[in-house]
Structure 1
Amino acid sequence: MSTFCTGVTVITAVGRDGTPHGLTCTSLASVTVSPPTLMVCLDVRSGTLAAVRDSGRFAVNLLHEGGRRAAEVFSSAVPDRFDQVPWRLGETGQLWLVEDAFAVAECRVADAVVVGDHVVVFGEVVNTEQRAETPLLYGMRRFASWEGASATTERVP
């Protein structure tokens, strides 16, 4: 699957003790429009997964082409990840990476299923914010941007 190109997100959640948690994730899919639901896959050992389970909420930060540093920070063992990037709390209290994400979906956990060493978390979207920027992509073990693309590109019928 390392050759499959996908968008890059940072999943964030606030732990029971108020500590922010986050990790870089490329395992994201839209599940249904009604109700709007996203699916993310998180390692069972992840502190972010523990925060998601404790709070019942999480945010999906979709990174723009300038968000590579945030993707690298949240995929590393840096202990103070949230000191490395600007963020704020969203409408439902979730963590938004304000300079690195072109879109954010705040979610309420609707379901979770253990599959091997990961948990598939289904989140019902309760709030979104978006601005027109080019998404950051990852595939073939490197980052890239979608050349010639923009958020205002016409839809194909």
Structure 2
Amino acid sequence: MRTPQHTTATDGEFRALMSSFPSGVAVLTSVGPDGAPVGLTCSSLCSVSVDPPVLLACVRSASPTLEAILAYGGFAVNLLHEDARATSELFSSGAPDRFDRVLWRSAEDSGLPHLVDQAHTVADCEIHRCETVGDHMVVFGGVRRVRPLTSAPPRPLVYGLRRYTGWPPR
């Protein structure tokens, strides 16, 4: 039996690896302690379970948005459509006025902010559990409600190889 090596990939090697694995783009939103909306761009999102419906999102541990998500007990996953690159960049910039620059509304039942013009679908989640891994927290969200925002088939925004693209047509 071969003994595994105990070296660690460099930051550059790891970033190159992950940039070659394209992902959809989402904006996670929640509500801060002052009642104001908060949010960040997230491409570290995946399904965990269908029964019950659970997904996970990985968020930088030092993020003020993560702090708000944990305090509120839930978050919305806004899956961005192919024309929402500017929104992805805005919510990854940390600009304090980001919610003043996009159309959003608060969901009646959850109170979570939905990006109504920039997302093709929104899922409202409540925190199922959390686990710290390195400099990020893995937040498991129990999906309570899914809202398609368009009747057309979704055309998601995709990020990989350090660039954005839309999902290719059939």
Which of these two proteins has the greater Rg computed from alpha carbons? 2
Percent identical: 50
> Which AA in structure 2 matches 1:141?
R
Say if 2:116 is the partner of 1:98.
yes
Of Structure 1 and Structure 2, the greater helix share is in 2
Aligned residue-pair number? 149
Instruction: Extract unaligned runs of 5+ from structure 1.
Output: 150-157
SS in 2 for 1:72: helix
Q: CA RMSD in A?
A: 0.9
Compute the TM-score of the two structures, normalised by the length of structure 1: 0.92
5+ residue gaps in structure 2? 1-17
Q: Distance in 1 between matches of 2:94 and 2:81?
A: 22
Runs of 4+ in 1 over 6 A off after TM superposition: none
Please give the alpha-carbon distance, in whole angstroms, between the structure 1 residues aligned to 2:138 and 2:154.
28
Per the normalisation by structure 2, the TM-score is: 0.85
Helix, strand or coil at the partner of 1:75: helix
Provide the rounded CA distance (Å) in 1 between the counterparts of 2:70 and 2:158. 28
Question: Could you tell me whether the CA contact under 8 Å between 1:92 and 1:127 is conserved in 2?
Answer: no
Equivalence map 1:51-130=2 (5 Å): 51-90=68-107, 91-130=109-148
1:55 and 1:64 map into 2 onto residues whose CA distance is 26
Q: Does 1:135 align with 2:153?
A: no
- Whole-Å separation in 2 of the counterparts to 1:133 and 1:126: 20
Q: CA deviation at 1:53?
A: 0.6
